[in-house]
Structure 1
Amino acid sequence: MHASSKPTGRSAHRRTIQVFAGLLLAIALALTGCTNAGDGGGDSDSGAAGADDKAAGLRTEGNGKSASGSKADREQPELTGTHIIRTAKLTVRVDDVAEALDDARRAAEDAGGIVGNENTSRDSEGRERSRVVLRVPQDKYEDVLSALEGTGKLVGKDAKAQDVTDRVVDVESRITSQRASVARVRELMDRATKLSDVVTLEGELSTRQSDLEALLAQQKSLKDRTSLATITLSLTENGTKADTQDDDPSFGDALGGGWDAFVTALRWIAIVLAAVLPFAAVVALLVLLWLRVVRPRWPRRAAGGGEGED
């Protein structure tokens, strides 16, 4: 009995050590697991926070882009249609230039247009010529052009159409940007406290306002040229020669032509005589002196010379 009690004490002691070691190992594992869990939770929280910050940044960036995009859309001029500059040059031969000119003015004014520069003259053959510039609305351009062509015989026509839609949109967009730029400079001037800054900003403001005025002038010119078409009409009076050139000559025409030739011949004869008359007068004077003075004395001298020799 005593021999068997010793092994039992040893096994109990060994069991106690194993239990204690197991407890230490469990505590160590528990501590390690808590540490890992704490670290993992921190990473997760920081990752979530980073994701939230990133999402917020993306939302902010997206909102900024959306706001700037909507602002750009508001500042971008809307394209309401095509913008075309139409010009035409007409040359028409008419019987009465004054009457045709009145008809042209009336056609332009009835269409809602205006009459521009006008010039009337006569050529070397006495035919009247007139040139007038007409400005008519685009929607009445073709009608007025047809009416002007029907005033007489159309001699020449040159019509052009230039699409300037891109240019119009570009000028309007630049005007919007330039106005915003001027406004920004004015805001800086209101907040400026130093005299040097004020002077610099005033110079910059003057430059930007000049650029804005130049753009506004371009816009006005484009609007005028695209809203009103320009027609330059040249009127020429029919001459007598042009009217009778293809007709057969009559007896009166032949008689008139013969009389003109006769008068022309007499005129040339008179001109020749007038040119020769001074020389003829000198020759006649010399002949008269010969006959009156020199020739009567010539035989006497010859006779006196013969008696002296005998």
Structure 2
Amino acid sequence: MKKTITAIISVLTIALLLCSCGSGGYASDNAPKESYDEYALYDTPTTEMSENENDYNSGAGNTAESGLSDFAPANQKLVYTTNLLIETKEFDTSYDAIMQALSDAAGYIEFKEIRGGYSGYNDYYSSRSAYMTLKIPSNNYESFLAKGEDFGNITRQNDSCDNITAQYVDTESRLAVLVAQRDQLLELMDRATSMEDIITIQTSLTQVVYEIESATAQIRTYDNMVDYCTVTISLDEVVSTSTSKTLTFGDRLASSLGDSFRVALEFLQGLVIALIYVLPYAIVGTGLFFLIRALVRKKRAKRLAEMQKAQDNGFSTPFAQTNEADAKTKKK
């Protein structure tokens, strides 16, 4: 009996190692997920996996019935991603339109960042921009993109599709094998008589249960990737939106004049702001300049008065003596 149990456990261990070789990394995910049947330790029959396989083969829950039937092959696990580059003159209106469309589609925000706007520190306004990653249910993916015109002027749109059917089927198959191994180990556990056999079986059973939980988590991740499409949006605030039509000479002239006036107005605004900034320093500097000049003039006037007084009293100043010596030299 002991040799039989040991041989069976060895075979199951080898099979478990082969299954583990096919396992990949498991991406973390905090998004809303559809309920997925847990493979519990004692209450999950082996036939449950076959029911899931029948659901998959019949096309239940795949993209073909989720609003993407026009371009999704049947019975495929497809992951859709769209990148939108949008420019708008009404940033708040476009942002509200995106949020409303997201709410109507029952999606959620995975990431969002907004930059720019009015800065009270230096009294300066810069154009705003927003970058966001949205998760849209696959059955509302097309209706969400159909509202793109309400978001602003779409200058670029990239759509991609990743087929993960092979990975999904491989994980399901590996999970079925693991569940079968677990059931066999449970049967051996019931028939084991020695403590050594029980410990050996329990060790193998613990490893199998861990692999089952990992495979189940991976399937959940795949289901979420298929059920929720990814839409990344880059929204930029601009003064004038670009156009694809051919511009006439008048249009180009009007656009150039408008840009010139806009640049001149921005320059004047910046100049006024700069003058306001330096105004206190200019007032202080001007006051110091006139104060120093007044002191210098006062000191010079005082010196001239002293020289004049000395000349009136008959005293010669060094300056006067120098002038007299020059006069005598000229006479000679």
TM-score normalised to the size of structure 2?
0.54
Q: Which residue is equivalent to 1:221?
A: 221
Contact 1:121 1:128 survives alignment (8 Å):
yes
Which amino acid letter does the alignment assign opposite residue 220 of structure 2?
K
Quote the offset at 1:100 in angstroms.
3.1
Choose which of 104, 107, 111 in structure 2 pairs with 1:114: 107
Quote the offset at 1:162 in angstroms.
0.6
The C-alpha deviation readout for 1:81-131, integer Å capped at 9, x for no partner, is 1111111121222343444344334444545x4222464634153444444
Q: Which residue is equivalent to 2:10?
A: none
Q: Which residue is equivalent to 2:193?
A: 193
Where structure 2 has 5 or more consecutive residues not aligned to the other structure, the ranges are 1-46, 60-74, 118-124, 243-253, 322-332
Matching of residues 1-310 of structure 1 within 5 Å:
77=53, 79=57, 80=59, 81-111=75-105, 113-117=106-110, 119=112, 121-124=114-117, 125-239=125-239, 246=255, 248-249=257-258, 260=269, 263=272, 270=279, 271=281, 274-275=284-285, 278=288, 281-282=291-292, 284-293=294-303, 296-297=306-307, 300=310, 303=316
Does the residue aligned with 2:151 lie in a helix, a strand or coil?
coil
Q: Which residue is equivalent to 1:36?
A: none
Quote the offset at 1:144 in angstroms.
2.3
Quote the offset at 1:170 in angstroms.
0.2
Where structure 1 has 5 or more consecutive residues not aligned to the other structure, the ranges are 1-70
| Matched pairs, number | 233
Could you tell me the percent identity over the aligned residues? 20
TM-score normalised to the size of structure 1?
0.58
Q: Which residue is equivalent to 2:27?
A: none
Contact 1:115 1:132 survives alignment (8 Å):
no
The C-alpha deviation readout for 1:232-277, integer Å capped at 9, x for no partner, is 23333344899xx926359x97996796587478658845564575
Quote the offset at 1:297 in angstroms.
4.9
Contact 1:75 1:173 survives alignment (8 Å):
no
Does the residue aligned with 1:123 lie in a helix, a strand or coil?
strand
Which amino acid letter does the alignment assign opposite residue 160 of structure 1?
S
Contact 1:135 1:228 survives alignment (8 Å):
yes
Contact 1:92 1:149 survives alignment (8 Å):
no
Change (3 A) 1:148 1:178: same
Contact 2:107 2:137 survives alignment (8 Å):
no
Contact 1:87 1:229 survives alignment (8 Å):
yes
More helix by share: 1
Question: Is the deviation greater in 219-228 or in 127-136?
Answer: 127-136
Contact 1:129 1:234 survives alignment (8 Å):
yes
The C-alpha deviation readout for 1:46-103, integer Å capped at 9, x for no partner, is xxxxxxxxxxxxxxxxxxxxxxxxx9xx699464411111111212223434443443
Quote the offset at 1:174 in angstroms.
0.6
Computing the radius of gyration from Cα coordinates, the structure with the larger value is 1
Cα separation, 1, equivalents of 2:185 and 2:78: 36
Contact 1:90 1:149 survives alignment (8 Å):
no
Change (3 A) 1:278 1:143: same
Does the residue aligned with 2:316 lie in a helix, a strand or coil?
helix
